[in-house]
Amino acid sequence: MTAPPHAGRNAGPVLAWYLRRFANVEFVPQLGPAIATPAVIAPAEEKAPSLGGQYVGQDFVLRLRWRPQGLSGPDRVRWLLYRQAPTPVQADRVVLWIKQAP
């Protein structure tokens, strides 16, 4: 890679931990047209960040979370016995944007 990959600072601590051994990663406060590096990582909530060039993206799950809040009575017993619950799993996602060759 000729330039360091950029990652949005609001992508969170999990992404920072995954990238901890990449010495050239640069965390920026905001993604914008001035960024024209070969790779950019952004939170999935930023559907199509305006970057300096044509990029293609693929989303990835960083972390899955499930919280038992709201389970009461039969739902709590079902979870304790069968590990089944009506509450959904929450996924934290990022998109890896790769610059297309001209």
Tell me the pLDDT tens digit for each residue of 25-35.
888 877 888 88
More confident residue, 3 or 63: 63
- Chain mean pLDDT for the chain: 81
Rounded Cα–Cα distance for residues 50 and 7 (Å): 14
Rounded Cα–Cα distance for residues 70 and 76 (Å): 9
What pLDDT shows up at residue 43?
84
Question: What is the residue extent of each domain of the chain?
Answer: 6-64+91-99
DSSP state of 9: G
- Does the pLDDT at position 6 exceed 70? no
Q: Are strands 39-43 and 26-28 parallel, antiparallel or unpaired?
A: unpaired
CA-wise closest residue to 13 among 97, 94, 68: 94
